[in-house]
Chain A
């Protein structure tokens, strides 16, 4: 076992896979050289694996997206880093029209084994361009997986699973969790399933479903509520697309009271789809209206600290929503 942060766990996972398979390459803005990425996720990789396997790209996200597709079809396992999830947008055509359609338009003859890494999420005083949750923009594109780890253990296991996956995988990393979470994780080789949600806490009063920073809020709130005799089942969505319907429906049926938490805007988020699935599949198990707790339907995270707090789904907000649902 080794104590490491969420960020270090991702780096460790990439390093292990680059060691295991020489076809794994990684690139992006400031990814190579001594800098090792704006957050330092790839620090030391260029030194260890050379500039040909870990290198910088121009500030052209469309090119990062397209390069990965080309390398992927030529037998490489490409990892393209977008410096912030907010910057993916210029590459959307490559991601959706090219990468995610590769299997489909070649009748399965060609695949694009790609990992697009992107730090997302707010609460870092990043303002408009560095705080957004863009997963909903790319959500619902058959052929494009979207995953995100919410624990240190999952960070290492999931990046390894994503690199080994033959589909293009959009790998979201919560930038607030990078150095916040610290955990003892196994040093040996392990992966976590790429398409499964994870029940991280058992309870039979309410079900809370989320991912990222807010999931960690929910876990803390669940411990606090436990002292009041309220037991929450907490589920980490983990695979944002395709959704692990089976696990989500089962967890919803278990308590009949479902709270869906996201730091994204409330409407049109991943949680909207999860709410629809639960309504469709578990109506007769519901004991309360499906509840969504999310950011306001306002463009993006403001820069001013007080306003950022107002926008963010904080631990207090999660606790209050959980309590209200439990008492319903």
Chain B
């Protein structure tokens, strides 16, 4: 018999912490390896955690809905077999020198000198790729200095739009705030309901976005009369053929994707003094359910036609509404397009989805009288497009040009446009 610990697993490349939303086992349960033991929530995604061992559940180490770092022990299981066959042998040669012990210890868990740590951080070097030339294979300062960064394998945590270290501080602030300030707003008659894991994840993300990103805003007006006509003409057939309704939103996504090709600065991230230009165009789309807001991602959105976008958005929305979104559906977004028009909004200032550089709010399409060049009036379908931008990366000039391109792309649709 021996005791084994199960740790909070890595739930995704940018995920540093998660909480248990539901225990699926109880103390005393007999479980087999790979049995689900709990549901964990991170960044609004629910994942089942499988057991690494067969045995009896001894103790739960974390409370439900409490954020813990990835790697934190969460459950103790008593297994039937010996955990590791390495039992200390009392006959070990006592004369074995202390030095040798130290050396083997070094091999098991490498220690890095302050100089090595600093240089590795500055040069963004993953030390697991560096070969040590020092005593017992220790990585020396010179090893890191001479290390050719080009040969380093792609290491996602460092280069993806995910400056983890900066986030950690913000996240912990966000985490602490509600708990400590809660009582200040309470009065005897009020009802206090602890926020659930997803709401807390949303809160954290929002606080991070507004504290870290200096927002600036711009709104333009676009004439989408042609799109309204096109949709009116096509929607019945589309519904019949595809089984899903043809919405306006995919037209806007299409126009935005095309505009991003021309304005790569909008499809970027701020990363600790660097601007990362994302080659992939991954559009996050906001999907509201009764309780929550989810932002799944249309990966490589530039590969889709209007019809393809319609289907992909529909698929993601259904996953969100049925609680089946997974981490992979939520990661990698490079720009968010938000369909605020469905709520009747005509003007809004979105909070950027960190670490993206902008969010575009597509407002309600309204019929309006607008002047014509010959001095008369005409009825047109007008829409406001409200852009929030990370002002560290994007200035008004680039934002204006980008929105102008989006407008042009929208105007380019006609009743002859094909949806496929």
Point out residues on A near B: beta carbons under 8 Å: 205, 255-257, 283-288, 327-328
Interface string of B358-382 (1 = CB under 8 A from A): 0000000000000000000000000
Residues of A within 8 A of B118 (CB): 284-285
If over half of B's interface residues share one DSSP class (helix, strand or loop), that class is named, otherwise mixed; here it is helix
Distance between Cα atoms of A328 and B111 in the complex (Å): 12
Q: How far is the CA of A327 from the CA of B140 in the complex (A)?
A: 9
Q: How far is the CB of A204 from chain B (nearest CB, A)?
A: 8
- In contact, B138 and A285 (Cβ under 8 angstroms): no
Residue B115 at the chain A interface, CB threshold 8 Å: yes
- A283 to B117: give the CA distance in the assembly, Å: 11
Add 17 more A-B contacts to A256-B113, A283-B114, A328-B138 (CB < 8 A). Answer: A255-B141, A256-B115, A284-B115, A284-B117, A285-B114, A286-B113, A286-B114, A287-B114, A287-B115, A287-B140, A287-B141, A288-B113, A327-B134, A327-B135, A328-B134, A328-B135, A328-B140
Q: Taking chain A's interface residues, is the majority helix, strand, or loop, or is none over half, making it mixed?
A: loop
Whether B141 contacts A256 by the Cβ 8 Å rule is: yes
A257 to B118, CA, bound (A): 15
What chain B residues lie within 8 Å of A287 (beta carbons)? 113-116, 140-141
Q: In the bound complex, how far is the Cα of B114 from the Cα of A283, in angstroms?
A: 7
What are the 10 closest A-B residue pairs judged by CB atoms, nearest first?
Answer: A287-B141, A287-B115, A256-B115, A284-B118, A287-B113, A256-B141, A284-B114, A285-B115, A286-B114, A283-B114
Contacts of A327 in B (CB 8 A): 134-135
> For residue A286, which residues in chain B have a CB less than 8 angstroms away from its CB?
113-115
Chain A's closest residue to B138 (CB) is A328
Q: Which residue of chain B has the shortest Cβ distance to A253 in the bound complex? A: B115
Please indicate the chain B residues that have their CB under 8 angstroms from the CB of A205 in the complex: 142
Cα–Cα distance between A205 and B140 once the two chains are bound (Å): 10
Contacts of A285 in B (CB 8 A): 114-115, 118
Number of interface residues of B (CB under 8 A): 12
How many angstroms between the C-alpha atoms of A251 and B306 in the bound complex?
65
Q: Give CA–CA (A99, B393) in the complex, Å.
A: 63
The answer for the CA separation of A31 and B57 in the assembled complex, in Å, is 89
Return chain A residues, CB-CB under 8 Å to B114: 283-287
Task: Determine the chain A residues whose CB is within 8 A of the CB of B134 once the complex forms.
Answer: 327-328
How distant is the Cα of A328 from the Cα of B135 in the complex, in angstroms? 5
List, in ascending order, chain B residues with CB within 8 A of A283's CB. 114
Give the complex CA separation of A285 and B141 in angstroms.
9
Indicate the member of A256, A287, A327, A328 with the most B CB atoms within 10 Å.
A287
Q: Which of B115, B135, B142 has the most chain A CB within a 10 Å cutoff? A: B115
Question: Using Cβ atoms and an 8 Å threshold, which residues of chain A touch B138?
Answer: 328
Q: What's the minimum C-beta distance from A258 to chain B, rounded to whole angstroms? A: 11
Q: Mark B136-153, 1 if CB is under 8 A from A, else 0.
A: 001011100000000000
Q: Nearest residue in B to A327 (C-beta to C-beta)?
A: B135
Query: In the complex, what distance in Å separates the CA atom of A257 from the CA atom of B113?
Result: 10
Provide a sorted-by-A list of 21 A–B residue pairs whose CB atoms are within 8 angstroms. Answer: A255-B141, A256-B113, A256-B115, A256-B141, A257-B141, A283-B114, A284-B117, A284-B118, A285-B114, A285-B115, A286-B113, A286-B114, A286-B115, A287-B113, A287-B114, A287-B115, A287-B116, A287-B141, A327-B134, A327-B135, A328-B140
CB distance from A328 to the nearest CB of B (A): 5
A284 to B115, CA, bound (A): 5
Contacts of B135 in A (CB 8 A): 327-328
* Cα–Cα, bound, A285→B138 (Å): 16
Chain A, residue nearest B141 (CB): A287
Give the docked Cα–Cα distance between A327 and B115 (Å): 16
Look across to chain A and name the residue whose beta carbon is closest to the beta carbon of B113. A287
- B140 — which chain A residues lie within 8 A by C-beta? 287, 328
Q: What CA separation (Å) do A59 and B141 show in the bound complex?
A: 55
Closest Cβ of chain B to A283, distance in Å, is: 5
Interface digits, B178-207 against A, CB 8 Å rule (1 contact, 0 not)? 000000000000000000000000000000
| B223-234 vs A, Cβ < 8 Å mask (1 yes, 0 no) | 000000000000
Report Cα–Cα, A60/B114, bound state, in Å: 52
Residue of B nearest to A324 (CB): B135
In the complex, what residue of chain A is closest to B118 when comparing beta carbons?
A: A284
B139 CB → nearest A CB, Å: 9
Min CB distance A261 to B, Å, is 21
Cβ–Cβ < 8 Å partners of A288 in chain B: 113
Q: Which of B107-138 contact A (CB under 8 A)?
A: 113-118, 134-135, 138
The CA of A107 and the CA of B247, in the complex, are separated in Å by: 87
Q: Which residue of B lies closest to A289 (CB)?
A: B113
CB A225 to nearest CB in B, in angstroms, measures: 15
Which residues of A have CB within 8 Å of B113? 256, 286-288
Query: What residues of A have a CB within 8 angstroms of the CB of B116 in the complex?
Result: 287
- CA gap between A256 and B118 in the complex, in Å: 12
Chain B positions 206 through 232: 1 when the CB is less than 8 Å from some CB of chain A, otherwise 0: 000000000000000000000000000
Roughly how many angstroms separate A285 CA and B115 CA in the complex, as a whole number? 4
How many whole Å from B398's CB to the nearest CB in chain A?
A: 38
**Chain A hits for B142, CB < 8 A:** 205
CB distance from B208 to the nearest CB of A (A): 28
User: How far, in whole Å, are A257 and B141 apart by their CA atoms in the complex?
Assistant: 9
Alpha-carbon gap, A328 to B103, bound state (A): 12
- Taking the nearest CB of chain A, how far is it from the CB of B61, in angstroms? 35
CB distance from B215 to the nearest CB of A (A): 35
CA A285 – CA B118 in complex, angstroms?
Answer: 8
Nearest chain B CB to A319 CB, angstrom units = 17
A205 to B142, CA, bound (A): 8
For B117, the chain A residues whose CB sits under 8 A away are: 284
The distance in angstroms between the C-alpha atoms of A227 and B221, with both chains bound, is 76
CA distance A256 to B116 in the complex (A): 10
Report the bound CA distance from A255 to B134 in whole Å. Answer: 14
